[in-house]
Structure 1
Amino acid sequence: MPEYALYDSQPREPRLPSPPGACDSQTHIFSDAARFPTKPDAAYVVLEATVEEMLRMHKTLGIERGVIVQSTAYGTDHGALIEALRIAGPSYQGCGVVDDSVDDAQLERMHEAGVRGARFNFHPKLKNALPTPEQVKRTAERVVPLGWHLKLHMNGLDPREVTPLLADVDTDVVIDHMGPLQYGHGLDDPHFRHVLELLERGNWWVMLSNGDRRSVAGYPWDDATAYARAYVEHAPDRVLWATDWPHPLHQGPVPNDGDLLDLLARYAPDAEARHRILVTNPQRLFGFPGGGHDE
């Protein structure tokens, strides 16, 4: 397994305080390897990234809510995720990985534990584990009646090869990491234009994350800022934000998570827009108290 950089264990407070109810829409966690072993062929393992460490980071950043996303290192064994949700409490929910190996009883346990989403990961490092179109459709048919949202990670792909699979689903769909952008193409990138078109449908969302690591311009990531601002302007009510802690598969310098909130302040200089991204939008999508499913 290649060596990847560890997260910054000394998060700093952001320059602008987070509003009450702020949400980090994607983190990953790892648990005790003796109780929750990872897959032998896992692409990455960060055993230091426990739920307790994640909560400590969130406290420093002023984050009160979050979504813990199943790490590919655990496959479809959600034991570590379920335990993390128990520890984190009701202000956190989970997003799992569901395929044909997940039976109805396991799906019910996941739902009872607070899992409310299913993620399809098309990362090239997964190799033979990539979901097939048939698997995507079967999973959607099983989880949509539960009220779950769907997430797409399409790193390195043309999104037009994947998004038609969910064109007719009657639920919310989140595109991870600002979409599989081609930063060298600028705002004329056809991948970017496609995501903008999806956002016009009303049930598609985009997550502002990984702008720092996808940037080709480097710090201060002005190319990422241009995309993010365009998303915020185009669909202000369907934009989310996430740290993607502990920054899996990161081979370069790992950002301090306080810097990532500062980057959001550049994405959305207006305080009202940041409040929507950090509080109102995730309330509505994830059903946290004060919005969405609880209204």
Structure 2
Amino acid sequence: MHVFGPQADYPFSPQRSYTPEDCTFEDLELLRAALGIDRAVIVHGGAHGTDNRVTLAALDRAPDTLRGVAVIPSGLPHTDLEEMHRRGMRGCRMSTVVSGGASFDHLEGLASETFDLGWHLVLHFNKATELVELAPRLHALRSHFMLDHLARIDGRDGVASPAFNTLMRLLDTGRCWVKLASLYRLSADPYPHPDMLPMIASVVAHRPDRVIWGSNWPHPICPVPMPNDGDIVDLIPLWLPDVHMQRQVLVDNPAALYGFPPID
């Protein structure tokens, strides 16, 4: 999930590539209550650039139930990283989709600087072909890393594509994670997007311990009709028919990755 604004308190970055509406901490809490989501992760939104105050402020208000992913450049003082960690940050995101944040040029630097904190790296691709190009560098990392939005592999390309084969090989490292989020952007089929199912099933069968689910609320930069978040939640039993797998992907995996206490 993301939070944006209010802009009066947390201005957007002048270098941003999109301008969302205010979607505040209060809005997030209403959504969590409506969907029955007890614990959540806020990925810092690109519209705010590398100014992480809006995300940190949200984490401060619900430290037991929220964790965060920052957008930062490499080269920050370690004391700044330690303070972000204390307040609930557990990873950092690089993107080729939005401007004003951190690009993949920061990959090795951020990996080195955040490794001792146990942070993972979130990779936000504009095109799936970028994964193929980046793969040798990812294989060389010590850090865990997350392929956001199924690495942007669309339903037309699917399991036979070079990008998906690269993804599966990266899963074999044990350090690669895959986020099932905003797949409505990648599908050529209307809801419930059946063309995405072969990729989802392959990833979950191969490394069920390295998959998490994301809502992507409030769906910034949405090139398709705005999805209903209830409909997105209703896809979970289609993607994860087994109740034990639902528990692993929705509860146990994110608890391990983001440092939430285990739930009995």
With the shorter chain as reference, the TM-score category is over 0.9
Q: Partner residue of 1:140?
A: 111
Q: Partner residue of 1:249?
A: 221
Give deviations 1:119-178, integer Å, cap 9, x for gaps. Answer: 11121x53x866243x21111111111111111111214112123223232232111111
The CA RMSD measured in Å over matched residues stands at 1.8
Matched, 1:235 2:207: yes
Q: Partner residue of 1:259?
A: 231
Runs (4+) of structure 1 exceeding 6 A deviation are none
In 2, Cα distance between the equivalents of 1:28 and 1:34? 17
Q: Select the residue among 152, 155, 172 that pairs with 2:144.
A: 172
Paired residues of 1:211 and 1:225 also in contact (CA < 8 A): no
In 2, Cα distance between the equivalents of 1:41 and 1:108? 26
In 2, Cα distance between the equivalents of 1:239 and 1:89? 24
Give deviations 1:39-77, integer Å, cap 9, x for gaps. Answer: 123222334311111121111111111111111111111
Give deviations 1:219-247, integer Å, cap 9, x for gaps. Answer: 22001122111211111111100001111
Quick check: 154-163 or 244-253, which moved more? 154-163
Q: Partner residue of 1:95?
A: 69
SS at match of 1:179: helix
Q: Partner residue of 1:119?
A: 93
Give deviations 1:207-227, integer Å, cap 9, x for gaps. Answer: 111111210122220011221
Q: Partner residue of 1:149?
A: 120
| Unaligned stretches of 5+ residues in structure 2 | none
In 2, Cα distance between the equivalents of 1:120 and 1:285? 18
SS at match of 1:162: helix
In 2, Cα distance between the equivalents of 1:118 and 1:149? 7
| Unaligned stretches of 5+ residues in structure 1 | 1-26
Q: CA deviation at 1:193?
A: 1.3
Paired residues of 2:2 and 2:217 also in contact (CA < 8 A): yes
Pair 119,231 (structure 1): closer, same or farther in 2 beyond 3 Å: same
Q: CA deviation at 1:108?
A: 2.9
Name the structure, 1 or 2, with higher relative contact order (CA <8 Å, separation 6+). 1
What TM-score do you get using the length of structure 1 for normalisation? 0.83
In 1, Cα distance between the equivalents of 2:103 and 2:163? 21
Pair 201,63 (structure 1): closer, same or farther in 2 beyond 3 Å: same
SS at match of 2:92: strand
Q: Select the residue among 35, 42, 60 that pairs with 1:68.
A: 42
SS at match of 2:41: strand
Quick check: 92-101 or 276-285, which moved more? 92-101
Q: AA paired with 2:111?
A: A
SS at match of 1:184: coil
Q: Partner residue of 2:194?
A: 222
Q: AA paired with 1:187?
A: V
Paired residues of 1:51 and 1:88 also in contact (CA < 8 A): no
Q: Percent identity?
A: 34
Q: Select the residue among 31, 34, 42 that pairs with 2:8.
A: 34
Q: AA paired with 1:35?
A: D
In 1, Cα distance between the equivalents of 2:215 and 2:234? 11
**How many residues are treated as equivalent by the alignment?**
262
In 2, Cα distance between the equivalents of 1:119 and 1:178? 15
In 1, Cα distance between the equivalents of 2:40 and 2:74? 27
In 2, Cα distance between the equivalents of 1:254 and 1:88? 28
